[in-house]
């Protein structure tokens, strides 16, 4: 029983911590975030099962964690309000070619990152962007002004 | 349902012709399915079994006796590997004579192989053999042997605790322990 409570508390603590940290942090795995991800299990590993080093305790801990993950996922899927609490909501970074400075500051997204995404989408300037969104998974999505721009692969034999 | 967007900008007249919200897809009727419940049950089975204490150490008591003497053994019926416990053998002399003083308790060697054996009280005279001295039994109708155990090898371990005496037949108490991995 002790292990179940420990795992549940740590799960809740990490979930709240990551939520406070913000969307952007784990969307791009910089060396800093990588170190953070590696350190978290190191710090909590001893707290998870306490002095119990048996395999049974490990199995109980893993099963508890997986149950919590599944329950969270089911609740977030079934009830969008829960999803909003857990994941947050996408943030508008730019609209109609204009950056939204307030949201960018809040989410800690620099214009340089927007520029990088523009190039990834094959766009040249911000004016071509209808919407720039910071998704809940930390990635940036661009919606061009003139609809979707399908990727064309040039080949020697062009198919009409 | 459309997802809400975090937005602080005020829409200008120039953009009023465009929809206020970023593009979204219409929502569907969301519901749980039986397979979701099954998955939760499967994953939660082990924590639930653990929560009700079925994977914790359980102490069992076994007794054997004659009209003048009783042997009572407290031992772990089940225990997790790496967990510690105490195996206790209590020899009670119902005649209140010095019969218990001459008792010899032999612990099953095969059973002990599943454990790391710690301190044995009183001190054994040989591996797994404890002789109860007259001093230990003085003024008391019963004497006790405590064996500190730490579970090591998972599986079923069983054996018989044998208590011999100067007079009468020896008494044996079968014990059986399951060690979880």
Please name every residue paired with A133 in a beta bridge, in sequence order, or none if there are none: A92, A141
Residue of B nearest to A77 (CA): B30
Q: Which residue carries 């602080």 as its tokens?
A: B8
Q: Which residue carries 């909501």 as its tokens?
A: A89
Question: In Å, how far are A13, A42, A43, A53, A152 from A46, measured between CA atoms?
Answer: 16, 8, 7, 10, 52
Q: Which two tokens stand for residue B48?
A: 């639930």
Predicted confidence (pLDDT) at residue B16 exceeds the cutoff of 50: no
- Is residue B117 a contact partner of residue B139, using CB atoms and an 8 Å limit? no
SS (H, E, C) B86-102: EEEEEEEECCCCCHHHH
Which residues in chain B touch residue A142, judged by CB atoms under 8 angstroms apart? Answer: none
Chain B contact present for A1, CB below 8 A: yes
Out of A109-113, A145-149, B100-104, B175-179, least confident range:
A145-149
The pLDDT of residue B115 is 93
* Distance in Å, alpha carbon of B26 to nearest chain A alpha carbon: 13
Query: Is the complex ipTM more than 0.90?
Result: no
Residue of B nearest to A90 (CA): B5
The pLDDT of residue A153 is 46
Which residues in chain B touch residue A1, judged by CB atoms under 8 angstroms apart? Answer: 50-51, 53
Nearest in space to B145 (alpha carbons), one of B117, B122, B173 = B122
The pLDDT of residue A115 is 92
Predicted confidence (pLDDT) at residue B96 exceeds the cutoff of 50: yes
Residue of B nearest to A70 (CA): B40
Interface of A with B in 6-45 (CB under 8 A): none
Kind and range of the H or E run holding A5: helix A2-21
Which residues in chain B touch residue A59, judged by CB atoms under 8 angstroms apart? Answer: 46
Band (A33; pLDDT cuts 50, 70, 90): confident
Q: Which residue carries 């069992």 as its tokens?
A: B60
DSSP labels, B132-149 = --HHHHTT-SEEEEEEEE
Question: In Å, how far are A106, B30, B60, B65, B71 from B173, measured between CA atoms?
Answer: 72, 61, 12, 9, 8
Q: What is the pTM of this model?
A: 0.75
Band (A149; pLDDT cuts 50, 70, 90): low
The pLDDT of residue A52 is 83
Contact state of B22 with A77 under an 8 Å Cβ cutoff: no
């Amino acid at each position: 029983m002790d292990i179940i409570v420990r795992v549940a508390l740590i799960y809740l603590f990490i979930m709240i911590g990551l939520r406070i940290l913000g969307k952007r942090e784990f969307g791009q795995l910089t060396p800093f975030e990588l170190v953070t991800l590696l350190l978290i299990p190191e710090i909590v590993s001893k707290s998870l099962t306490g002095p119990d080093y048996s395999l049974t305790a490990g199995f109980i801990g893993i099963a508890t964690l997986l149950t919590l993950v599944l329950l969270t996922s089911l609740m977030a899927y079934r009830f969008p309000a829960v999803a909003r609490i857990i994941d947050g909501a996408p943030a508008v970074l730019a609209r109609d070619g204009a950056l939204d400075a307030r949201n960018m500051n809040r989410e800690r997204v620099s214009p340089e990152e927007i520029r990088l995404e523009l190039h990834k989408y094959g766009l040249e300037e911000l004016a071509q962007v209808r919407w720039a969104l910071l998704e809940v998974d930390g990635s940036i999505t661009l919606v061009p002004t003139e609809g979707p721009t399908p990727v064309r692969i040039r080949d020697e034999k062009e198919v009409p | 349902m459309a997802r809400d967007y975090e937005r602080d900008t005020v829409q200008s007249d120039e953009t009023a012709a465009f929809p206020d919200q970023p593009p979204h897809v219409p929502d569907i009727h969301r519901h749980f399915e039986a397979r979701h419940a099954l998955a939760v049950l499967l994953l939660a089975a082990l924590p639930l079994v653990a929560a009700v204490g079925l994977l914790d150490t359980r102490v069992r008591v076994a007794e054997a006796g004659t009209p003048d003497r009783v042997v009572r053994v407290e031992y772990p019926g089940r225990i997790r590997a790496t967990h510690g416990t105490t195996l206790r053998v209590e020899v009670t002399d119902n005649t209140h004579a010095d019969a218990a003083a001459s008792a010899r308790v032999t612990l099953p060697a095969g059973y002990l192989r599943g454990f790391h054996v710690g301190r044995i009280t009183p001190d054994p005279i040989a591996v797994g053999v404890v002789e109860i001295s007259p001093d230990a039994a003085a003024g008391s109708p019963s004497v006790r042997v405590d064996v500190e155990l730490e579970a090591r090898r998972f599986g079923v371990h069983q054996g018989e605790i044998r208590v011999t005496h100067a007079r009468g037949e020896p008494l044996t108490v079968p014990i059986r322990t399951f060690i979880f991995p």
